Chain A
Amino acid sequence: MFRHFFTLQWKSFWRSASLTSGLFMKLFMGFWALWFAIMFTVAGMTVYEFIKERLHLDPLETINKFLIYWWVFDLIFRYVLQKMPIVNSTPLLLLPFSKNKIVCFALAKTVFSFFNLIHAFFFIPFSLILASNGYPAIDILLWLIALIALIYSNNFLNILLNKKDKLVFFVAVLLILSATLQYFEYFDSTVYTSLFFKSFYSTPFMVFVPILTLLVLILVSFTSFAKQLYLDAGVKTKYRTVKTENLAWLDRFGRTAIFLKNDVKLIKRNKRARSTILVSFLFLFYGLLFFTGTFKSYDNPVWTIFAAIFVTGGFLLSFGQFVPSWDSAYYPLMMSQNIKYKEYLSSKWWLMVIATLFSTLLASGYLYFGWDVYLAILVTSIYNIGVNSHIVLWAGAYVKTPIDLTSHKKAFGDKQAFNTKTLMLSLPKMVLPMLLYAVGYYLYSPNAGYILVAVVGIAGFAFKDKVFNIIERIYKSEKYKTLSAYKQKN
């Protein structure tokens, strides 16, 4: 029976329309997977030495302390990135497969996901080194088994959590809050949680807690999946009543408002588009890694600019790179209407500008780290609006990946924006402002660096029309290719 499922999966992989065009991307992903595996292995082998010799702490205790973050972060990471176990089940329902088999297969598939296996690359070498350093092997083994059970619990939790955005958001906020409190030494929650992780090691029977949890989660996800295997339950999409919206207040934008109103609805009503808002919110905190001096290698003025670009540019980068792919589902409509490309583009441009300004406002929290840090954010915000907004739209013109608006997975991991042209165009987004700043900083003074970045950002406005003309030409010359690429769903 499983043989049939495997052949179906195999064919759906190799015969998918996007495979040939996405082969480069598959290799790219493979490379990253390999890279992560190697990095995790290296970390697993060296972290013992590092904690013991450099920090003079007990390695196992220290790791236990951070395990709660690792576990919650893993869950959030999965929620955003890991794909749901979907078997194209509708045609199978009528065939003589037992429903349990279908569910079994769908769930079993997730067990071999990269998101589960990657952890082994860290924890197995780490455990081996612990054991070879005189920690009792049996206890370490129990600890390891408990961790594996926790990882797989995450795997099934993620399946159950599917579509519960608010809950996951809440957990993420909790995580950030607790990390902040710990950092500023107000309250250290890891003191309590590390006891829990330590107990796997010190109290043998504790290993049954995560194992039982895992078993319960498997059972629950199995039954909830099996229940959804009716056409009117899980397989068919559910309807929600919605209200017609006018958004007349946007009419002040003139002709651009026609598209602006649509784009606002696009973001409000589609999961995939909404995730760009989440991304930009998360990027707001990206600067914390740099400005708090957590990583020594980033403690460099030029890297500050790099971080600052992401702080205000999260939306710009994640939304802009998929213009016009956001409209891929109805591109033939757009192409057969008399559309002024400039109005279409400037609607997207305004959205990015507004989001960037808003992020800049929110980022005023960085004033805590001093004026200097916020100044960096301000000038890069100008650069983002003046230069990056144009470059992002320009690069997007070469992206021909149709976007399935209704699915919210794969927000980052799409084969998307990666082709040589877009990679080339991403250089001026990051590298140019860093270079500009470095030139001003090292030749004259830090403030000269800021001024240089800001001036180039303002100068970028002058090229708006020119860039829009270029993009319009690309849209026109690539029209047929784009249309046929968007037709290939999958």
Chain B
Amino acid sequence: MINIHKLSKVYTGKTVLEIDHLYIEKGSNFGLVGNNGAGKTTLFSALLDLIQPTTGYIENNTVKVSESEDWKSRTSAFIDETFLIGYLTAEEYFYFIGELRGQSKADVDTLLFKYDDFFHGEILGQNKYLRDLSKGNQKKVGIIAALIGNPEVIVLDEPFANLDPTTQIRLKKIIKNLAANPEITILVSSHDLMHVTEVCQRIVVLDKGEVVKDLATSQQTLKELEAYFTK
């Protein structure tokens, strides 16, 4: 589904990302871990064509992301708060995204109803602008908005950060359910090794922009990752 080819990004002489080849299968559940500055967000930004790679390219379902916009209707993402519109209420924001992705109001309502327990009564009907919500609640809105319009590729950057324990557990369940659908490819990055190993079938470790480990998740993976990050 996602094909990364000889991708690199250089900022003022400093290479922050250098991936020779990485292929992510359709329907897979892909986890990205690494310390700060490892290049996780840079990779996701390049995947969404928000930054221009210095060399190489990324293909999303055989479409080069920088050359066509065909991938956009099939792909959705939540990277950070710049994906939220601060002066809208949560409902208005969901409907706006829904309209952009060709969903009727009823479609959006159905989806919202499905994830009602994820919101924990703190999102809908709050009569607050998104900019006035707490960081954690903003994240909930962004994550669910990324599920609107039946996307085939879902990119979530650090979805577990800032969430309370209950919501983290619910989010893990949501991601696992989505992953069960062979049509949906999920890309998740995290600092929390436990969460990633629990949720993802494949985990790639980035360090200083390079792929240093590429693991199929098993019983041993968590230990292996912990060992890697301890040294």
Contact = CB atoms under 8 A, between A and B. Distances in A.
B82 A262 contact: no
A338 B132 contact: no
- The A contact surface, by secondary structure, is helix
8 contacts: A244-B89, A245-B92, A262-B96, A329-B82, A332-B50, A332-B82, A333-B84, A480-B50
B79 interface: yes
A241 B101 contact: no
A337 B87 contact: no
A265 B88 CA distance: 8
A330 B72 contact: no
Contacts of B52: 480
B49 interface: yes
Interface string B184-226: 0000000000000000000000000000000000000000000
A405 B96 contact: no
B75 interface: yes
A483 interface: yes
A406 B51 CA distance: 27
B85 A262 contact: yes
A27 interface: no
A480 B69 CA distance: 15
Interface in B50-94: 50-52, 69, 72-73, 75-77, 79-80, 82-89, 91-92
B99 A330 contact: no
Contacts of A405: 86-87
A331 B80 CA distance: 12
B127 interface: yes
A262 B83 contact: no
Interface in A325-367: 329-333, 335-339
B48 interface: yes
B91 A237 contact: no
A242 B85 CA distance: 15
A467 to B, nearest CB: 21
4 closest Cβ pairs, A-B complex: A338-B72, A269-B87, A241-B127, A333-B83
A336 B127 contact: no
Interface of A: 237, 239-245, 258, 261-262, 265-266, 269-270, 329-333, 335-339, 405-406, 480, 483-484, 487
B26 interface: no
A152 B77 CA distance: 52
A420 B91 CA distance: 42
A440 B76 CA distance: 56
A365 B92 CA distance: 39
B137 to A, nearest CB: 12
A242 B96 contact: no
B100 A242 contact: no
A395 B4 CA distance: 37
A50 to B, nearest CB: 50
B73 A338 contact: yes
Contact of B83 (A244, A330, A484): A330
B48 to A, nearest CB: 5
B119 interface: no
Contacts of A269: 87, 129
A344 to B, nearest CB: 10
Contact of A330 (B76, B82, B100, B132): B82
Given A262-B96, A480-B52, A237 B132 contact: yes
A239 B86 CA distance: 13
Contacts of A480: 50-52
B87 A270 contact: yes
A330 B92 contact: no
Nearest to B131: A406
A258 B88 CA distance: 13
Given A330-B83, A336-B48, A242 B72 contact: no
Contact of A258 (B76, B77, B87, B100): B100
Contacts of A261: 96
B131 A332 contact: no
B173 interface: no
A64 B50 CA distance: 59
B162 to A, nearest CB: 18
A336 B157 CA distance: 14
B128 interface: yes
Interface string B27-57: 0000000000000000000001111100000
Given A241-B128, A261-B96, A405-B87, 5 more contacts: A239-B128, A245-B92, A258-B96, A332-B82, A336-B49
A368 to B, nearest CB: 39
Contacts of B69: 338
A338 B100 contact: yes
Contacts of B73: 338
A46 B91 CA distance: 62
B72 A239 contact: no
Nearest to A261: B96
A118 to B, nearest CB: 35
Contacts of A245: 92
A334 B87 CA distance: 15
Given A330-B86, A331-B82, A244 B91 contact: yes
